[in-house]
Amino acid sequence: MIKIHNLGFPRLGEHRELKFALERYWRGEITQDELGRIAAELRQRHWRLQASSGLDLIPVGDFSYYDHVLDTSVMLGVIPERFGSSTGFDTYFRMARGQSTDGVPFRACEMTKWFDTNYHYLVPEVTADQQFVLSSTKLFDETRELQAMGYQPKPVLLGPLTWLWLAKTTSDFNKLDLVDRLLPIYGEILHRLADQGVEWVQIDEPILVLDLPNTWRNAFESVYNRLQSSPVKMLLATYFGELGEQASFACKLPVAGLHIDLVRAPEQLTAVLDNFVNHKVLSLGLIDGRNIWRTDLNAALSAIADARERFKGELWLAPSCSLLHVPIDLEHETALDPTIKPWLAFARQKLTELEVLRLAIEEPAAAEPDLIVSANAIRSRRESTLIHNPAVQAELAKIDSSLTQRQNPFPVRREQQRAKLKLPSYPTTTIGSFPQTPEIRKARADFKRGLISETDYIKHMEHTIEFCVREQEKLGLDVLVHGEAERNDMVEYFGEQLDGFLFTANGWVQSYGSRCVKPPIIYGDVSRPKPMTVGWSQYAQSLTDKPMKGMLTGPVTILNWSFVRDDQPRSTTAYQLALAIREEVNDLERAGIPIIQIDEAAFREGLPPRQSRWQTYLDWAVRAFRICSSGVNDSTQIHTHMCYSEFNDIITSIADMDADVITIETSRSNMELLYAFIDFNYPNEIGPGVYDIHSPNVPTTDDMIALLKKAGERIDSDHLWVNPDCGLKTRQWQDVRISLANMTEAAKALRSAAG
Ligand code: GLN
Ligand code: ZN
């Protein structure tokens, strides 16, 4: 009989119960015991739900109070020195949040993206003389809790090599040297689980889908050779991509089973079967754990049939990866368009799909009705007029090089922009948003709920814009913004006004800790029924003689922060978004806005796990950006903004975007980003952020002068802009005022020094 199983379940609860409980605990409103009770209830509810879908093995250990990578570090006793030696609950949250209940500030562990998802994990920190001690009983306790309910547990463990790969070293040494000390702890964990009666353990090693150096590949062989003496069966789980050239050795590792992602990499089935042996379990990840579309069950069945033809061993079926990345239950979406709703599947519906797949193999006749429902839903989606917009497709077919090319090269544009804008050297600007005060949030919420009229809402927003413009004038900034008060989120704001988008009421996905996002769903061809930002920008420009910068979110960022339709290449959806944004850019220009910023905050995030696929992504991502920005006259200045400090490896593509000005995050890394400019002469203008808006500290004029001087060593001073490193919406006005005043002082000082 084919087994079905799950790699992990969302933790926070369908009504984000854990989020609210955690936040109450942090505020001191509930005790640790109460928090523990709520967490246990959630775990048990999720286990029951998974068991009722017929899963043979239920994951345990996927639950976390904050993050599973942090849980692993704590289990291994890896607690950076600054947190002391205690391994209690308090220490755990200090590592995660950098705050202690007694008000002592701690430097929290760094947080970064989990592979190419929007989930963030806490980066383990290891030292050259790192010791490991089994320091937590969480996994054993939760396993016992699940066993007590009578279910078959499959503990989930982050694999030793992936954990180590994700760790940062505090000094220069080879992390792999720590394996000898690390492995005994893993051995101990596996032994204890075996003693508790566990048969299967899932060991996650997603780094097997990355480009691995040879030393790491070899480490896999030696690590799993040593772990194979453990008295449990290991299922090695890989996900988020293809094993590629690593397939042959991954298939031969001495483990009892291997899980592969057949959603991201359906073509890897052949290579895996070429190398697989019949005595092992092969787990097929056929249900998309990263997206919210209903599975084409008939297509999945034919993949299973292919596998069965060539493989006579034991097959398991599962989602492609943990369901952490999708919302829990579609049933809560009572307001969704009834045509579209059946196209979707959230975590709970995905588990049902798994059950149907098994049934279709074991008892085809019994599964028939479900397969027909699924096939109908797939057909309805493919053929729906809601999806296809002939006008958009006609525009798409017309994209050619004339749409991706500004009228003239940068040096020519620059002259025209200089003549028009008459900016001083070291021009000052901000990244777009100004503090979102409680009054602003209230006005938006009241309008959404229909408590205030549109006229009153517009009046309120115009008042806010005027305040913001006057503040910027007082500060002496050179290029002003309207402040983005009307936006609660830089993607949602545009998604809500574009056709082809859908918003859920309760489609929350964990971003980090207690924080969730509710990604928009792009279900159909994207188009722009009417201008989205022009009114606000135009009003703002009418208040001042200073140039106003229009503010848009770029196509790649909208794409990377949404659930995207999977019936066409992502690049096609990106181009549709680009055409819509292009119309907005052109309308802003027509409305007299001289400078337009197209934010691509998430540009880098879309890079595929394998470097060999980077160029393809970069090519279409850059092209999408250029479609947006190329419809304007030479004298209109295009800015872009990116908020990450690592782009040395993609700098040529960034330059290919050909924005007249790029503003970037650099202040935190002390201008490290500018190393990219040692070998590469960035041709256009650039504003390396000099004010770290993520820190509560107010930067001094001297700090910023020093940063700008450092930047001046790499970048021609007449190409330099002076700006913060990101939007100011999370800050308070009193800090922003002082910081920006210091920033404009810094610019003045440099101007007079230059004479
Ligand atoms: N324009 C946006 C803002 O200022 C940019 C946000 C971002 O880069 N994350 O808020
Ligand atoms: Zn930013």
Per-residue pLDDT reduced to its tens digit, 545-560: 999 999 999 999 999 9
**Residue having the nearest C-alpha atom to atom 3 of ligand 1:** 727
Predicted confidence at residue 645, as pLDDT, reads 66
Active site residues: 694
What is the average pLDDT across 9-25? 97
643 confidence band (pLDDT: 50, 70, 90): confident
Instruction: Say if residue 85's pLDDT is above 90.
Output: no
pLDDT in tens, 132-168: 999 999 999 999 999 999 999 999 999 999 999 999 9
Is 547 near ligand 1, meaning CB less than 6 Å away? no
Domain of residue 641, CATH code: 3.20.20.210
The predicted pLDDT at position 734 comes to 95
Query: What pLDDT is attached to residue 672?
Result: 72
User: Are residue 430 and residue 315 in the same domain, yes or no?
Assistant: no
In a shared domain, residues 359 and 472: no
Nearest-CA neighbor of 69 among 359, 331, 322? 322
Residue 177 forms part of a structural domain: yes
Q: Which of the residue ranges 3-12, 272-281, 544-553 would you say has the lowest mean pLDDT?
A: 272-281
Structural domain span for residue 441: 408-754
**Residue owning the nearest CA to atom 1 of ligand 1:** 432
Q: For residue 728, report the distance from its CA to the centre of ligand 2, in Å.
A: 9
pLDDT of residue 105: 66
Q: Is residue 85 one of the residues assigned to a domain?
A: yes
Cα→Cα distances 149→58, 142, 194, 330, Å: 11, 11, 18, 26
Mean pLDDT of 91-104: 76
Q: How far apart are alpha carbons 602 and 558 in whole angstroms? A: 8
Q: 3-class SS at 124?
A: coil
Range ranked top by mean pLDDT from 140-144, 167-171, 644-648: 140-144
CB-neighbour burial class of residue 735 (10 A; exposed 0-12, middle 13-18, buried 19+): middle
240 and 119 in a single domain? The answer is yes
* The predicted structure's pLDDT at residue 654: 95
Structure confidence at residue 433 (pLDDT): 98
Question: Which numbered atom of ligand 1 lies nearest the CA of 641?
Answer: 8
Residue 195 lies in a domain: yes
Task: Give the three-class secondary structure for 155.
Answer: strand
Highest mean pLDDT among 73-87, 660-674, 731-745: 731-745
Distance CA 673, CA 643 (A): 11
Inside any domain, residue 531: yes
pLDDT tier for residue 238 given thresholds of 50, 70 and 90: very high
Q: DSSP character for 548?
A: B
Q: What is the mean pLDDT of residues 451-466?
A: 98
Is residue 722 scored above 90 in pLDDT?
yes
DSSP 205: -
Q: What residues form DSSP beta bridges with 126?
A: 169
**Whether residue 474 is found in the same domain as residue 358:** no
Mean pLDDT score across all residues of the chain: 95
Prediction pTM value: 0.95
The pLDDT score that the predictor gives to residue 100 is 57
Give the model's pLDDT for residue 678. 75
> What pLDDT does residue 43 have?
98
Do residues 441 and 316 share a domain?
A: no
Task: Assess whether 440 and 476 both reside in one domain.
Answer: yes
Do the beta carbons of residue 664 and residue 655 sit within 8 Å? no
Distance 740 CA to ligand 2 centre (A): 16
Cβ(601) – ligand 1 distance below 6 Å: yes
Q: Is the dihedral of CA 467, 470, 474, 477 positive or negative?
A: positive
Residue 697 inside a domain? The answer is: yes
- Nearest CA owner, ligand 1 atom 5: 727
Same domain membership, residue 602 and residue 532: yes
Q: Is the per-residue pLDDT at 247 higher than 60?
A: yes
Helix axes 297-310, 347-362, angle to 10 degrees: 50
Tokens 């829990």 map to which residue? 328
Q: Give me the torsion for CA of 91, 92, 96, 101, rounded to 10°.
A: -50
Q: How many structural domains does the chain have?
A: 2
Amino acid 553 reads T
Is the CB of 219 within 6 Å of ligand 1? no
Q: Report the nearest atom of ligand 1 relative to the CA of 432.
A: 4
212: left (phi over 0), alpha (psi -120 to 50) or beta: beta
Q: Is 599 in the pocket of ligand 1 (CB under 6 A)?
A: yes
Ligand 1 touching residue 436 (CB < 6 A) = no
- Mean pLDDT of the region 194-206: 98
Looking at residue 189, what is its pLDDT?
Answer: 98
Q: In this structure, which residue's CA is closest to atom 6 in ligand 1?
A: 727
Q: Identify which has the larger pLDDT, 27 or 646.
A: 27
Pocket of ligand 1 contains residue 431 by CB under 6 Å: yes
Q: Is the CB of 234 under 6 A from ligand 1?
A: no
At residue 101, the pLDDT reads 53
End position of a domain, from candidates 331, 352, 385: 385
Contacting residues for 12 by C-beta, under 8 A, at least 6 apart: 18, 19, 42, 508, 510, 514, 516
User: How far, in Å, from the CA of 547 to the mean position of ligand 2?
Assistant: 21
* pLDDT score recorded for residue 676: 76
Residue 14 in this model has a pLDDT that exceeds 90: yes
240 and 331: one domain? yes
In this predicted structure, which of 68-72, 96-100, 351-355, 560-564 has the lowest mean pLDDT? Answer: 96-100
Q: Distance between alpha carbon 373 and the CA centroid of its chain, in Å? A: 33
Q: Has residue 597 got a pLDDT over 70?
A: yes
DSSP H helices in 630-712 = 651-656, 676-679, 701-712
Assign 3-state DSSP to the chain and report helix, strand, coil percentages, each to 5.
45, 15, 40
> Is residue 393 in some structural domain?
no
Distance 691 CA to ligand 2 centre (A): 12
Cα separation, 124 vs 133, in Å, equals 15
CA–centroid distance for 51 within its chain:
30
Ligand 2 (single-atom ion) residues, CB below 5 Å: 601, 643, 726
- Tell me, yes or no, whether 528 and 669 share the same domain: yes
Tell me: pLDDT of 170 over 90.
no
Answer yes or no: do 62 and 178 share one domain. yes
Q: Tell me how many helices (H) and strands (E) the chain has.
A: 26, 22
pLDDT of amino acid 102: 57
Mutate to test the pocket of ligand 1, among 118, 597, 641 (most ligand atoms within 8 A of CB): 641
Mean pLDDT within 88-108: 77
Indicate whether 399 belongs to any domain: no
Residues 204, 332, single domain; the answer is: yes
Q: Residue 666 pLDDT > 80, yes or no?
A: no
* Residue 596 near ligand 1, beta carbon < 6 Å: no
**543 against 102, higher pLDDT:** 543
Domain boundary pick from 385, 418, 434: 385
Given this model, what pLDDT does residue 87 score? 74
Distance 433 CA to ligand 1 centre (A): 6
> Residue 110: is its pLDDT beyond 60?
yes
**What amino acid occupies position 203?**
I
pLDDT band for 218, please (50, 70, 90 cuts): very high
Which pLDDT score, from 0 to 100, does residue 681 have? 86
Residue 396 belongs to a domain: no
Has residue 205 got a pLDDT over 90? yes
Percent of the chain with pLDDT over 90: 90
Q: Judge if 297 and 358 occupy the same domain.
A: yes
What is the pairing mode between strands 521-527 and 549-553?
Answer: unpaired
Boundary (domain end) residue, out of 385, 416, 437? 385
pLDDT for 22: 97
- The two structure tokens encoding residue 628: 């947006």
pLDDT level of residue 500 (50, 70, 90 thresholds):
very high
